[in-house]
Amino acid sequence: MPLPSAPPPPRILHVSQPVDGGVARVVVDLATAQAAAGTDVHVACPQDGFLASALGALGIRVHPWGASRSPGPRLAAEVRDLKRVIGTAGPALVHAHSAKAGLAARLALRGGIPTVFQPHAWSFEAVGGPTALVARLWERRAARWATRIVCVSEAERVTGLRAGVVGSYTVVPNGVDTGRFTPDGVAPDGHDPAGGPLVVCVGRLCRQKGQDVLLRAWPAVAARVPGARLVLVGDGLDGERLREWAGPEVAFAGAAADAAPWYRAADVVVLPSRWEGMALAPLEAMACARPVVVTDVDGARESLPPAHRAHALVPPEDPEALARALVALLRDGELRAELGRRGRRHVLDHHDARCAAAAIDAVYGELLGTAPTGYRECTTT
């Protein structure tokens, strides 16, 4: 007598408005791991940018969703369009990433099917004044339409609770592809390995990432570390303004399809963010065995090995402290090498993308009443 066939895996629809940067990278890594493990994965997102092209190259079904970054007069049409996409895809669960997708998906579904919302840093941290108040009020109200809120750090969860966002939370730390971000590999085009000490900052050129604070800190670094160079990797709305402030020892590399060569070329990687959930760039840099300096915002402390924190954490909006931390590391090659080795081990043990995918799958299984998908061992040696 033939055995009954196993039921098909549940269909998951990821929804993302960001098509570049850290959120898009998380969606690609998560969808890739899920598809490899046998999950039926679909993604709704705008068609321009990295996200749709990367998913298409991997054979993952992409549903066009034309959404702008901020709420505005097109919101009602965007919600209707997403309802249409959801009807076409027929998912068992929707996983909405970041503020705009979280807004549109929860309005479209209103709890009709299991809905996971992943803020990737809360919307009310990105704005001020009355707009921040409106964003907090919305998140408090919309929490009832999120079956689960997934935060990438415990600090992000606490920030939500302090803002009055009450719901069912799970913390799943961000992970990175430790097979792609490794200490060994090619250097970026145009890099001169014989040049002076190199500091690299990878991220969108925008207020959140704090490159303006870094540029205010840099003259003190350059004065105390002769020949030191700074490269900003990324593009964004603040690019023109930042270029006006930068001195001759600062280079703008533009957006990079693969940031790993820049991490490997760096002596120190820096990310002076004003807010985060848990930034990917420091994890990617540590996976490449490079020391990091980051601001003490949500997720930063949790992403670092305990021994790094005295050397790597500085207050946000403090160019003097940022300069001191960079100078100390640039002057101490042995410390940089030791922090690099420990950072790589820490990411392998705690922030592999497969571990994050397995944890997310466990959330899906809990909400859908299905058995967890089999993932390969996520701790890498």
d(CA 143, CA 126): 19
Looking at the fold, whether 216 and 140 belong to one and the same domain comes out as no
Over residues 292-307, mean pLDDT: 96
pLDDT of the residue at 31: 95
In a domain, 183, yes or no: no
State whether 132 and 29 are in the same domain. yes
The answer to whether residue 180 is domain-embedded is no
Residues 153 and 203 grouped into a single domain: no
Q: Annotate 79-106 with three-state secondary structure.
A: HHHHHHHHHHHCCCEEEEEHHHHHHHHH
**Residue 190 forms part of a structural domain:** no
Give the pLDDT confidence score for residue 67 in this predicted structure.
Answer: 86
Say yes or no: 330 and 364 in one domain: no
pLDDT band at 2 (very low <50, low <70, confident <90, very high): low
Domain count, the chain: 2
Q: State mean pLDDT over 272-293.
A: 97
Tell me: do 299 and 213 sit in the same domain: yes
Q: Are residues 55 and 22 in the same domain?
A: yes
Residue 195 pLDDT exceeds 90: no
Q: Do 171 and 22 share a structural domain?
A: yes
Same domain, 280 and 343: yes
Q: At what angle do helices 280-287 and 21-36 cross, to 10 degrees?
A: 60
Q: Flag whether 193 is in a domain.
A: no
Going by C-alpha positions, the residue among 33, 111, 18, 140 that lies closest to residue 373 is 33
- Asked whether the predicted pLDDT for residue 361 surpasses 50, the reply is yes
Q: Residue 102 has what pLDDT?
A: 96
Query: Is residue 310 assigned to a domain?
Result: yes
Residues 209 and 156 placed together within one structural domain of the fold:
no
| Within-domain flag for 309 | yes
Per-residue model confidence (pLDDT) at position 247: 86
Contact status, residue 271 vs residue 281, Cβ threshold 8 Å: yes
Q: Is residue 1 part of a domain?
A: no
Q: Note whether 346 and 356 are same-domain residues.
A: no
Q: What is the pTM of this model?
A: 0.91
Mean pLDDT computed over 199-210: 96
Give the pLDDT band of residue 380 (cuts 50, 70, 90): very low
Q: How far apart are CA 114 and CA 188, in angstroms?
A: 43
For the beta carbon of residue 144, count every other beta carbon within 10 angstroms. 12
What is the mean predicted confidence (pLDDT) over 177-195? 82
Could you tell me the CATH number of the domain that includes residue 210? 3.40.50.2000
Q: Is the predicted pLDDT of residue 143 greater than 80, yes or no?
A: yes
Query: Residue 122 in 3-state DSSP?
Result: coil
Tens-digit pLDDT profile for residues 314-326: 999 999 999 999 9
Domain range enclosing 276: 198-350
Domain assignment present for 108: yes
Q: How many whole angstroms separate alpha carbon 349 and alpha carbon 381?
A: 9
Classify residue 188 by its DSSP letter: P
361 and 228 together in one domain: no
One domain, residues 60 and 118? yes
Lowest mean pLDDT among 80-89, 126-135, 206-215, 291-300: 126-135
Instruction: Quickly state the pLDDT bin for 80 (edges 50, 70, 90).
Output: very high
Residue 61, strand partner residues = 42
Residue 381: predicted pLDDT? 38
The secondary structure of 268-300 as a DSSP string is EEEE--S--SS-HHHHHHHHTT--EEEES-TTH
Residue-wise pLDDT for 5-53, tens only, equals 556 788 999 999 999 889 999 999 999 999 998 899 999 999 988 999 9
Contacts 24+ apart (CB under 8 A), 157-160: 159/122, 159/125, 159/298, 160/119, 160/122
Whether 90 and 11 have beta carbons less than 8 Å apart is answered as yes
Comparing 237 with 371, the larger pLDDT belongs to 237
pLDDT of res. 194? 65
The answer, yes or no, to whether residue 379 has pLDDT greater than 50, is no
pLDDT for 378? 53
